[in-house]
Chain A
Amino acid sequence: MYVYLIYLLIFFAIPVGILGWLVRKDLIRYKRTILWCLAFIYTMGWVWDWLSVKTGVWRYDSAETVGLWLDGLPVEEFVGFYLLGAFLLITVFLAIRRKLKHV
């Protein structure tokens, strides 16, 4: 069962899709900010994640993932968690800022 993938789709992809649509103009406007957020997550975030798995803080049960691994981490982590996680953080911030500007 692709538990992790389904989890990412429900709790990351859907909110990001909704919020992303609401702030789509800002997402186009702030391309550099988005790229830097992704750069930090794919570098420092990866090191943190790798270290945590290596030292046993958390683990990913292979039975609940797609089954493709990269350096001890499931591929869903790179495609789903990092990418969608970054956009979740960005879209939440931009949506709140937009809302507060109109209040």
Chain B
Amino acid sequence: MFDHLSYIGYTLLFCVPPLLLIWLRREFFEILVGNLRTIFLSTIILTIYGSLIWPIALKYGAWAYSSEKISNVKLMGLVFIDDVIWWIFIGLIFSSFISLSTYYEDRGVDIVWREIRGLLASFRNALRGLRIITLERNSTIHVAIAVFVLLEGVLFRISKMEWLFVMVAIGAVLGFEILNSAVERLAAKYSAQQDAEIGLIKDAAAAGVLVASAAAAVIGFVIFMSRILRFLL
């Protein structure tokens, strides 16, 4: 996939997202900063140890690399830079995670389960939020049009690229419509009386739907009009 950068590429692919998950959260960041010395010292020691023992494995044939898939650059003529980068990222990820997890375990909290439960709850709430579609007239119209377009797509056998555009358009329109419905209800809850500012906010939310719908209409026209004309004529 990445040719000579395959080893490094996979390391980044598997390590950078989890690192971001751990370090980008403010709550976690503050805990990790408190353990920075331990995290970096562990990473350095593991990297040095790994960089010393990995060449031994290669020398005695425990495993072997494909020269087309690695950088072939050696640090001090001893260890592949790909291996050093691997150890740095593995050391950093696990030191960060252990630091975080042990902090919470000392306080009786299983942080991984807490995060999983939180994520599942978010999904449950979001799925519950979909019912707003059934409460608004415009939402139901958009859903009906979306289903119509999907059926058209199947019947006219549109290409993968065209499906991509159709799905993005449907997602944008329905997404904006749901948001618009939420804003309208929030505005109604906030103030039952007529208010110029609230009115502007509601109109702006509706304008968002209008813009998305107009763009979706153009996409639909470009994809389907010629096919419909050919079908009719």
Contact = CB atoms under 8 A, between A and B. Distances in A.
Interface of A: 3-4, 7, 11, 15, 26, 29-30, 32-33, 36-37, 40, 44, 48, 51-52, 55-61, 63-64, 88-90, 92-94, 96-97, 100
Nearest to B13: A48
A93 to B, nearest CB: 5
A39 to B, nearest CB: 8
B62 A93 contact: no
Given A32-B110, A55-B69, A56-B66, 14 more contacts: A15-B49, A32-B105, A36-B97, A36-B101, A40-B97, A56-B68, A57-B6, A60-B62, A64-B60, A89-B91, A90-B94, A92-B46, A93-B38, A97-B99
B206 interface: no
B42 A56 contact: no
B77 interface: no
5 A-B pairs with least C-beta separation: A33-B101, A4-B62, A89-B94, A57-B69, A64-B61
Contact of A58 (B14, B46, B53, B65): B65
B14 A48 contact: yes
A94 B38 CA distance: 9
A73 to B, nearest CB: 10
B98 A59 contact: no
Given A32-B110, A37-B97, A37-B98, A3 B62 contact: yes
Contact of B64 (A11, A48, A59, A90): A59
Contacts, number: 104
B57 interface: yes
B112 A58 contact: no
B1 interface: yes
Greatest chain B CB density within 10 A among A40, A61, A63, A96 is at: A96
A24 to B, nearest CB: 15
B56 interface: yes
Contacts of B94: 37, 89-90, 93
B138 interface: no
Looking at chain A's contact residues, the main secondary structure is helix
Interface in B42-74: 42, 45-46, 49, 53, 56-57, 60-66, 68-70
B41 A100 contact: yes
B14 A33 contact: no
B98 A33 contact: yes
B198 to A, nearest CB: 48
B160 interface: no
Contact of B46 (A36, A37, A89): A89
28 contacts: A7-B60, A7-B62, A11-B56, A30-B102, A32-B110, A36-B101, A48-B14, A51-B10, A52-B6, A52-B7, A52-B10, A55-B6, A57-B6, A57-B7, A57-B70, A58-B7, A60-B64, A61-B61, A64-B62, A88-B46, A89-B46, A89-B91, A92-B42, A92-B46, A93-B38, A96-B41, A97-B38, A97-B99
A100 B38 contact: yes
B185 interface: no
